Structure 1
Amino acid sequence: MTALQAHVIGLAWQTGSPRAFSITSELDHFISMQIASRRYQNASEAMRAALRLLEPEETAESLKRARLGDQKIQHARG
């Protein structure tokens, strides 16, 4: 196990519970390059940054699905 894999496996969330992730070799390389460029100090920082970017997109998608569900219910009621 590489040091990077150990960081990813040991990634902890605010709840304090560790999480394990499997990532592609391309993503592993990307994270390694980000650390080497000193953009991030470790894999955990890089993963948190990625998730912060993903969160608004996923939240917006969830809201869209909820609105569509509400529209279907309204349409079914007539």
Structure 2
Amino acid sequence: MTSSRPTDPLHGVTLEQIVTRLADRYGWAELGRRVPIRCFTDNPSVHSSLKFLRRTPWARKKVEDVYLDMLKDL
């Protein structure tokens, strides 16, 4: 029996975990520079970001791409 490991690095990672880790690593200002959306630049919070990202697929994709880039750097 072989152990299969998911090849998708986003497997099992919630959007909340992604936003929290990015905010901790880069800070809101840098995150807003990398992904220029108001939920990161104007009074940012995890709650407001999640609300927006869950409704906006293109923004969520950008955030996931930044997260994947961060994982490569680690």
TM-score by length of 2: 0.28
> RCO (CA 8 Å, sep 6+): is it higher in 1 or 2?
2
> Which protein shows a greater Rg?
1
TM-score by length of 1: 0.27
